[in-house]
Amino acid sequence: MSGANVAFGVLAAVMAVSAIRVVTTKNVVHAALYLVLVLAGVAGIFILLAAEFLAIVQILVYIGAIVVLFLFGIMLTRAPIGRAPDLDNDQRAIGAVVAMFLFGVLGWILYDGFGDTQLQLRDVGRSGDVGASIFSTFVVPFEVISVLLLAALVGAVVIARRD
Amino acid sequence: MVLQNIWVIPAITASSFVLILLFGRRLPNKGAEFGLMALTMTFALASIGAAQWVGRPADLEVEPASTIKSAEAHDEEGGDEDHGNKSDKGHAGEGAKEHAGEGAKEHAEEQDEGGHGAEGTVAEAGEGDEDHGGGHEAEPIRRPVDRRWAWFQTGDVKVQAGTHADGLAMAMLFVVSLISLLVHVFSFSYMHGDERFTHYYAALSLFTTGMFVLVTASNTLQALFGWELMGLCSFMLIGHWWDRDGNKNSSAALKAFFTTRTGDVGLLVGISILFFAAGQTFDIETTNRAALTGQIGSGVLLAAAAALLVAVIGKSAQFPLHTWLPDAMAGPTPVSALIHAATMVVAGVYLVARLYGVFWVAFDIGGGGINPVAVVGAVTILIAAALAFVQADIKKVLAYSTVSQLGFMIMALGVGAWTAGIFHLFTHAFFKACLFLGAGSISHSGSHHSFDMVKDMGGLKDKMPWTFRTFLVATAALAGVPPLAGFWSKDEILLGAGKNGYGLFMVVGLIGAFMTAAYMTRCVYLTFFGEPRGAAAHHHPHESPPLIVVPLQVLAVLSVFAGLLNAPFFGELFGKWTSNSTVLGAGIAHHEFSLVAAALSIAVAFGGIATGYAYYWKGFRVGSLRHDRGPTGMLYRLLVRKYYLDDLYEGFIVRGIREPVARAAYWTNQKVIDAVVNGAGIAARGIARFVYEIIDQRGIDAAVNGAGIASSETGGLLRYIQTGRVQQYAALMLGAAGVFALALALL
Amino acid sequence: MYLMQFLVLAAFLFCVGVYGVLVRKNAVLVLMSIELILNSVNINLVALGVYRGYDQAIVGQVFSLFVIAVAAAEVGIGLAIVLLIYRNRASIDLSEVDLMKG
Amino acid sequence: MNWFDDWALTLAVFLPMVGVAVLALIPRANEDLHKLVALVTSGATLAVGVGILTRFDYSRSRMPQFEVDRGWIDVINSRYHVFVDGISLPLLALSMLITVLCVIYSWNHFPEPHNPKAFLILMLVLETGMNGTFVAEDLILFFVFFELVLLPMYFMIGVWGGENRQYASIKFFLYTLFGSALMILSFLALFFLAPNTAGQNTFDIPELVAAGASIPRSTQILIFAGLFMGFAIKVPMFPFHTWLPDAHTEAPTVGSVILAAVLLKLGTYGFIRIALPILPEAAEAWAPWIGGLAVIGIIYGALGCLAQRDMKRLIAFSSVAHMGYVMLGISTLTDYGVNAAVFGMVAHGLITGMLFFLAGSIHERYHTRELARLGGILKQAPHLGWILGFCAFASLGLPGLAGFWGEFPAILSAYSPAEALDEGLFRIYMVVAAIGTVLAAGYLLWMFQRTAFGLPKEEFSDAHIHDVHGPEWIAWTPLLVLIVVLGIFPNLLFGITDDAVGVVTQAFARVGG
Q: Which residues contact D288 (CB under 8 A, 6 or more apart)?
A: D331, D421, D422, D425, D426
Read off the pLDDT of residues D224-233 as tens digits, 9 standing for 90 and up.
Answer: 999 998 899 8
The answer to whether A114 faces chain B, any CB pair under 8 Å, is no
Residue B331 contacts by C-beta under 8 Å, 6 or more apart in sequence?
A: B234, B237, B238, B239, B240, B241, B249, B252, B253, B339
D310 DSSP β-pair partners: D370
Number of domains in chain D: 1
**Residue of B446, B443, B455 lying closest to B398 (CA atoms):** B443
Lowest mean pLDDT among A2-6, B641-645, B659-663, B671-675: B641-645
Nearest to D224, CA basis, from D284, D150, D145, D296: D284
Task: Give the pLDDT of residue C27.
Answer: 84
Alpha-carbon distances, residue B162 vs A130, B87, B157, B165, B229 (angstroms): 78, 11, 15, 10, 17
CB contact under 8 A, C102 and B722: yes
Closest by CA to B470, choosing from B555, B398, B541, B540, is B555
Instruction: Report the pLDDT averaged over residues D82-106.
Output: 91
Amino acid identity for residue B9 in this structure: I
pTM of the predicted protein model: 0.73
Q: Residue A162: its chain C contacts at CB < 8 A?
A: 87
Per-residue burial over B642-671, b if 16 or more Cβ lie within 10 Å, else e, is: bbbbbbbbbeebbeebbeebbeebbeebee
Angle at alpha carbon of residue B402, lines to B399 and B406, rounded to 5°: 145
- Across the range B477-502, mean pLDDT stands at 84
Strands D65-73, B157-165: pairing kind: unpaired
| CA torsion, ordered B629, B633, B635, B638, to nearest 10 deg | -40
Is it the case that residue B640 has pLDDT exceeding 80? no
Task: Check contact D-A (3+ Cβ pairs < 8 Å).
Answer: no
Contact present, D179 and D138 (Cβ < 8 Å) = no
CB atoms within 10 A of CB B694: 11
Whether residues C22 and B727 touch (CB distance < 8 A) is answered with: yes
CB atoms within 10 A of CB D74: 8
**B483 touches B570 (CB < 8 A):** no
Q: Is A75 on the interface with B (CB under 8 A)?
A: no
CA distances from D358 to D301, D318, D474 (A): 20, 15, 14
User: Does the beta carbon of D336 lie under 8 angstroms from any beta carbon of chain B?
Assistant: yes
Neighbours of chain C (3+ CB pairs under 8 A): A, B
Q: Which of D259, D338, D326, D258 is nearest to D294 (CA)?
A: D326
CA Rg value for chain C = 17
| Domain membership of residue D86 as a residue range | 3-512
Instruction: Give the model's confidence band at B723: pLDDT under 50 very low, under 70 low, under 90 confident, else very high.
Output: low
Give me chain B's average pLDDT, please. 75
Closest in A8, A22, A114 to C20, CB measured? A22
Q: pLDDT > 70: what percent of chain C?
A: 92
Q: Where is B158: in which H helix or E strand?
A: strand B157-165
Question: Given this model, what pLDDT does residue B675 score?
Answer: 56
Q: Is the peptide bond before D471 cis (omega within 30 degrees of 0)?
A: no
pLDDT tens column, C35-48: 999 999 999 999 99
**Would you place residue D90 in the very low, low, confident or very high pLDDT band (cuts 50, 70, 90)?**
very high
Query: Nearest Cα to D230, choosing from D260, D274, D195, D283?
Result: D274
What's the distance, Cα to Cα, between the start and end of chain C in Å? Answer: 51
Please check whether residue B417 is in contact with residue B500, taking contact to mean a CB–CB distance below 8 angstroms.
yes
Give percent of chain A with pLDDT exceeding 70: 94
What is the rounded average pLDDT of the residues B87-95? Answer: 39
- pLDDT for B722 equals 57
Residues 6+ apart with CB under 8 A from B384: B319, B322, B400, B401, B403, B404, B407
Evaluate whether B405 touches B424 at the Cβ level (below 8 Å).
Answer: yes
Across the range B322-336, mean pLDDT stands at: 82
CA distances from A108 to A97, B680, C46, C47, D251 (A): 16, 65, 21, 18, 46
Give the angle subtended at the CA of B188 by the CAs of B182 and B189, to the nearest 5°: 105
In sequence order, which ranges of B461-502 are alpha helices (DSSP H)? 465-479, 485-499
Query: Is the model's pLDDT at B576 over the cut of 90?
Result: no
Q: Which of A149-158, B401-410, B731-740 has the lowest mean pLDDT?
A: B731-740
B positions 708-747 inside 8 Å of C (CB)? 722-727, 729-731, 734
Please provide the DSSP assignment of D442-500 as one string. HHHHHHHHHHHSS---GGGTTS----S-HHHHHHHHHHHHHHHHHHH-THHHHHHHHHH
The Cα B563–Cα B428 span in angstroms is: 10
Among B725, B728, B742, B746, most A C-beta atoms within 10 A, so best to mutate, is B742
pLDDT digits (tens, 9 = 90+) for B276-305: 888 888 888 888 888 888 888 888 888 899
| D239 neighbors D298 (Cβ within 8 angstroms) | no
DSSP state of D79: E
Q: Please say if the pLDDT value at position D125 is more than 90.
A: yes
Q: Predicted confidence band at B518 (pLDDT cuts at 50, 70, 90)?
A: confident
How far is D64 from D83, CA to CA, in rounded Å? 6
Helical H runs in D373-401?
377-380, 382-395
* Cβ under 8 Å to B: A residues 79-108: 89, 91, 94-95, 98, 101-102, 105-106, 108
Query: Which of D179, D262, D278, D269 is CA-nearest to residue D224?
Result: D278
* Rounded alpha-carbon distances, angstroms, from residue D487 to B152, B344, D67, D369: 11, 22, 31, 29
Q: Chain-wide mean pLDDT for chain A?
A: 85
Q: B470 — alpha (psi -120 to 50), left (phi > 0) or beta?
A: alpha
Residue A139: other Cβ atoms inside 10 A: 11
Is the pLDDT at B386 greater than 60? The verdict is yes
Banded pLDDT at B671 (limits 50, 70, 90): low
Find chain B residues with C-beta within 8 A of A110's C-beta: none
Q: Which chains touch D (3 or more CB pairs under 8 A)?
A: B
CB distance D302 to D440 below 8 Å: yes
Position D43 scores a pLDDT of 93
Compute the Cα dihedral for D138, D143, D144, D150 and give only its sign. Answer: positive
- Closest listed residue to residue B509, CA positions, set B612, B410, B611: B410
Residue B69 clears pLDDT 60, i.e. is over it: no
Reduce the DSSP state of residue D34 to 3 states and report it.
helix
Closest partner residue to A42 (CB to CB) among C42, C79, C94 is C42
Domains and CATH numbers, chain C: 3-91 (1.10.287.3510)
Q: Provide Rg for chain D, Cα atoms.
A: 22
Task: Report pLDDT for B68.
Answer: 46
**pLDDT tens column, D237-281:** 877 877 888 888 888 989 999 999 999 999 999 999 998 888 888
What is the pLDDT, as a whole number, of residue B495? 85
Task: Please compute, for residue B6, the number of CA atoms within 13 A of its CA located in the half-sphere on the CB side.
Answer: 37
Q: What are the pLDDT digits (tens) for D239-251?
A: 787 788 888 888 8
DSSP state of D237: P
Minimum Cα–Cα distance from C51: chain A residue = A119
Q: Distance between CA atoms of D331 and D325, rounded to whole angstroms?
A: 10
pLDDT greater than 80 at residue D340: yes
Q: Are chains B and D in contact at 3+ CB pairs closer than 8 Å? A: yes
Non-local (6+) Cβ contacts of B548 within 8 A are B186, B189, B190, B437, B440, B441, B444, B445
Q: Is the dihedral of CA B306, B312, B314, B319 positive or negative?
A: negative
- For residue B659, pLDDT over 70 is answered with no
Residues 6+ away with beta carbon under 8 Å from B275: B220, B281, B282, D412, D415
pLDDT (0 to 100) of residue B628 = 38
Instruction: Calculate the CA B407 to chain-centre distance.
Output: 10
Residue B586 confidence (pLDDT): 67
CB contact under 8 A, B745 and A102: no
Q: Which residues of A touch C32 (CB under 8 A)?
A: 22, 31-32, 35, 70
B44-49: long-range contacts (C-beta < 8 A, 24 or more apart)? Answer: B45/B2, B45/B6, B45/B8, B45/B9, B45/B12, B45/B177, B46/B9, B46/B170, B46/B173, B46/B174, B46/B176, B46/B177, B46/B178, B47/B174, B48/B2, B49/B2, B49/B3, B49/B6, B49/B9, B49/B165, B49/B170, B49/B173, B49/B174
Instruction: Please answer whether residues B549 and B465 qualify as being in contact, where contact means their C-beta atoms are separated by less than 8 angstroms.
Output: no
Provide the chain B residues 637-656 that lie in CB contact (below 8 A) with chain C: none
Q: What is the mean pLDDT of residues D391-397?
A: 91
Work out the average pLDDT over B691-695.
69
| Mean pLDDT computed over B141-166 | 83
Phi then psi dihedrals of residue B451, to 5 deg: -115, 10
Total Cβ atoms within 10 A of residue A90? 10
Phi-psi region of B93 (alpha: psi -120 to 50; beta: other; left: phi over 0): left
Distance between CA atoms of B285 and B291, rounded to whole angstroms?
10
Q: How far apart are CA B711 and CA B211, in angstroms?
A: 62
CB A31, CB A22: distance < 8 Å: yes
CB B68 within 8 A of CB B96: yes
Tally the C-alpha atoms within 13 A of residue B10's C-alpha that lie toward its C-beta: 25
**Phi/psi at C71 (5° precision):** -60, -40
State CA D409 to chain mean position distance. Answer: 19
